[in-house]
Amino acid sequence: MPKDDLTNKLRLEIKVQLSQVTKANSPKIWAEIHTPGGKLNMQGYARIEAKLIQRIIFGQITPSAAIPQLEQEYELM
């Protein structure tokens, strides 16, 4: 499978998983990817997506596992 196809599949899966993020289950990540009014913040989304990609590649974990890890890291800051 070409690299671009893998990249697109990974980004799509991250999008699916981030669409399930709520204020209740991941408040720090939700705040990063949304404006105070609840609209998508594209700059914040891009930052979170990049962090998730790094975790997924280097930790060899799934997007659904990377999101709670990142949220927990944010809570420790």
Q: Is residue 3 over pLDDT 80? A: no
- The torsion defined by the Cα of 8, 42, 31 and 63, in degrees rounded to 10, comes to 10
Residue ranges per domain, the chain?
3-71
How far, in whole angstroms, is CA 21 from its chain's centroid? 9
Nearest CA-CA partner of 66 in 26, 6, 8: 26
* pTM, to two decimals: 0.89
Taking only the tens place, the pLDDT of each residue in 5-39 is 888 999 999 999 999 999 999 999 999 999 999 99
Residue with tokens 């599949």: 9
